[in-house]
Structure 1
Amino acid sequence: MGMGATNGILLLNRLLLAACFLPAAIMRLSNISGFAAALTMKGIPYGDVVATIIVLAEIFGPLALILGLAPRLSAVALIASLTITTGALHRFWDYGGLTRATEQALFLANLGVLAGLLFYALTGPGAWSWQAWWRGMAAPAKPAKKKRQSKPRAPKPKPAPVRDMDDEDEFRDAA
């Protein structure tokens, strides 16, 4: 696969991950007090503070994803918010019937998004990102110069051990 295809897939990954967060974040922003109350009812301490932090992460994180800014920081912020919301709001084990099936599907879908964020944190945004442009990596690479192949050299012979004259005298006396 060429570098263009790889960078295109990394860009598509960033856009799809951002699309997973932005609609819910906008909805939560429009009713942040309701979101805070839902978190508090599920046992999250300081629900209003946690709700504010999650909404900020879910608004600015996807924007950073789209642009390819601070990939590890944005991935960690989104992973943290996703872990809190999934663990608090999609507790499928507390339900039965259709509600259980729905909550379990949402829980597992969020695990898939979490996996995508982990891959993003490891691979980075690719060359089609603000970060690559800022570091100068988005410029087309120059072809590498062809190295001259040299013939393999034979190892240098080791010099013969030097004998002392005293050793020869000892052998002469022994005979």
Structure 2
Amino acid sequence: MMRLADSFIIFIARLALAVLFLWGGAMKLLGYAGFISYLQTKGVPYVHIAAPIAVAVELLGGIALVIGARTRIVGLLLAGYVIVTAIFGHDFWNIADVALQHDAVVHFWKNVAIAGGLLLLAVTGAGRASIDGMRAPRGGLRG
């Protein structure tokens, strides 16, 4: 059985992670042409397919985290997404300039840390303060 304090902490964690995706998705959508150009410079294949998928994953994933819907699977999917974006977007191994490379290394490992938080969320579930929590049987929260 999950304690109320645990559910509150999980709720705060969900919100903290969601802000990243909601903000990123909104900025990509608002600067869509620039986002397309950025993806092209990074050599992302099928940019005109990848870009709307990225925006949708970030916005819908962020919303799912906030409301706590399908949190375990959303956590797994977003963790995978964050690792893929780290590999394509923060490819420090391809950067010659030392200052730019350092910046990319920091961002790469931040993405790995975010993926770790999402994997923890996939294991713990959404907690009581969520749609998943409302669906769970009252004997013990599994969602």
Q: TM-score, normalised by structure 2?
A: 0.86
Q: Does the 8 Å contact 1:127/1:137 carry over to 2?
A: no
For residue 46 of structure 1, what is the amino acid of its counterpart?
Answer: Y
Higher RCO (CA < 8 A, seq sep 6+) = 2
Structure showing greater radius of gyration is 1
Question: The residue matched to 2:43 in structure 1 has which SS?
Answer: coil
Question: The residue matched to 1:73 in structure 2 has which SS?
Answer: helix
For residue 135 of structure 1, what is the amino acid of its counterpart?
Answer: A
Q: Does the 8 Å contact 1:92/1:101 carry over to 2?
A: yes
For residue 66 of structure 1, what is the amino acid of its counterpart?
Answer: V
Unaligned runs of 5+ in 1: 140-175
Report the Cα distance in structure 2 between the residues aligned to 1:76 and 1:50, rounded to whole angstroms: 19
Q: Does the 8 Å contact 1:19/1:62 carry over to 2?
A: yes
Report the Cα distance in structure 1 between the residues aligned to 2:59 and 2:72, rounded to whole angstroms: 16
For residue 24 of structure 2, what is the amino acid of its counterpart?
Answer: A
Pick closer, same or farther for the CA change 1:14–1:137 going to 2, 3 Å.
Answer: farther
Say if 2:101 is the partner of 1:91: no
Say if 2:78 is the partner of 1:44: no
Shift >6 Å, 4+ stretches = none
Unaligned runs of 5+ in 2: none
Number of matched pairs = 138
Q: TM-score, normalised by structure 1?
A: 0.72
* Residue 26 (structure 2) aligns with: 26
Q: Percent of pairs identical after alignment?
A: 30
Q: Does the 8 Å contact 2:14/2:65 carry over to 1?
A: yes
Which whole-Å deviations, capped at 9, do the CAs of 1:107-161 have from their partners, x for residues lacking one? Answer: 111111000000111110011111111335499xxxxxxxxxxxxxxxxxxxxxx
Give the alignment's Cα RMSD to 1 decimal.
2.0
Report the Cα distance in structure 2 between the residues aligned to 1:41 and 1:138, rounded to whole angstroms: 52
Q: Does the 8 Å contact 1:127/1:138 carry over to 2?
A: no
